[in-house]
Structure 1
Amino acid sequence: MTLAYAPDAPLATPAIAQVMERLGLRMTFAKDEEIFCQDEEADLLYIVVSGAVRTTRLLSDGRRQVGSFYYPGDLVGLETGDLHRFSAEALCDSTLLVVKRSAVKTFAGDEDLDRALWQATRRELERTQEHLLVLGRKTACEKVASFLMDLAQRDRSEQIALPMGRQDMADYLGLTIETVSRMLTQLQGASVVEFDGCRRFRVTRWDALERLAE
């Protein structure tokens, strides 16, 4: 089955996509299972087929920073250096397509691999810039609203999945879990969003959510 890649996925060259589908091995990972670890050799590439992935980095004082979240169609683990800067774990039961970087280089060629590296670097820079803006210039409510808006724009269904837990959100947004929970309650109380349990929500006031997320 051909993968349906997300519009903003950093996998931008058809040659890379074809190699991944031709040579890649499908692997399943259980919730919270490690996919690769921080400072491990980056000799494998991954595409999320189903589920979701988070990248994390442990700081010197033992705190955890969530770097980003990846969804079906996203390419994970394409580094410009030889080592992974972050660890990656499955947020939920997930399937990934895995292939050796050397195989991609052999079958796609240096030019396509270099192009994919550039595209991945560009996309990760955009992710980092967006993340820095959220961390440095927004209030707690605006941070949570921006996070929910990003998920809503990706999913575009009435009931939007929230594959990560409150602690993941807190570690990504630079907040405490108590603050995240309080902001979600506040947004629901203002009828901006409506939650169906802890892991699914719908946007009831798009204009209000967009204003907070700007």
Structure 2
Amino acid sequence: MDERIARYLKQFGLTDLFPVHVRQLMHIKAYAGGERLFTQGEEAHALYLLVDGKLKISMLSPEGKRLIAAFKTPFDLVGDIEYVQACPLINTVEAVTETQVIRIPFPVLRNEMADNAAWLQFLLETITRKFEVRSRVMNFNLLYAVDVRIASYLLSMTPDRAVIDSTSLVDMADLIGTSYRHLNRVLEQFEQAGWITKKRGKITIYNREALLEQAGHNIYE
């Protein structure tokens, strides 16, 4: 087994959850910031343990708009609902920062862990918590003003840096649940206040505290 996997499992208290022969079938994968792990609607093949970095989870609405479902930081699972329901991927998942995940193929879990009571309890608790987070995010999109959501999005997308790609503001507007025009207007207000600059396809953040105050300390994750 990869020493990094052993170290991560110990860090998050998961060593005893998985038998040795299951741990030996795990693989670690790395993704760069902005890289997509998988896309909504694709066939699901494995469970991912998020052990380092940050992920953005989005979903396509019935109207064809892509909306933020959640941001994830360690420790978390990706693909757990698909594993239980044996369904295609529900969301699109992208790395926000450099990210490390531990991959466990579904057949391994079904063959080796299906009767493991501790694993099933762990899975139940994780999925329950995930639905609570999803409910909070959806309420956030419905109840909070656009400027609050934009400030929160900028903060969520820049946990370890000050620059975010702004080449696709249309996508950003869809994710936040607003119009391109409204998004641009709010970004211009932030720029006039000296909190950000927007040029050459990049948004640079200069005042995180002001954005955090604007967001009312309400961050997507």
TM-score, with structure 1 as normaliser: 0.67
Question: Equivalent residues in 2 for 1:99-110 (5 A)?
Answer: 99-104=104-109, 106=112, 110=116
Percentage of identical aligned residues: 17
Larger Rg: 2
TM-score, with structure 2 as normaliser: 0.66
CA-based RMSD of the aligned residues comes to 4.1
Find the aligned partners of 1:168 and 1:52 in 2 and give their Cα distance.
19
- Name the counterpart of 1:131: 137
Find the aligned partners of 2:211 and 2:63 in 1 and give their Cα distance.
39
- Name the counterpart of 1:203: 208
- Aligned residue identity for 1:147: Y
Secondary structure class of the residue paired with 1:128 = helix
- Name the counterpart of 1:82: 86
- Cα drift, residue 111 of structure 1: 1.7
- Name the counterpart of 1:172: 175
Deviates further, 43-52 or 170-179: 43-52
List runs of 5+ in structure 2 lacking aligned partners.
Answer: none
Question: Equivalent residues in 2 for 1:121-200 (5 A)?
Answer: 121-150=127-156, 155=159, 159-160=161-162, 162=164, 166-191=169-194, 193-194=195-196, 198=202
How many residue pairs match? The answer is 204
- Aligned residue identity for 2:78: V
Question: Equivalent residues in 2 for 1:15-30 (5 A)?
Answer: 15-16=16-17, 22-28=24-30
8 Å contact kept, 2:196–2:203: no
Find the aligned partners of 1:118 and 1:163 in 2 and give their Cα distance.
36
- Cα drift, residue 69 of structure 1: 3.2
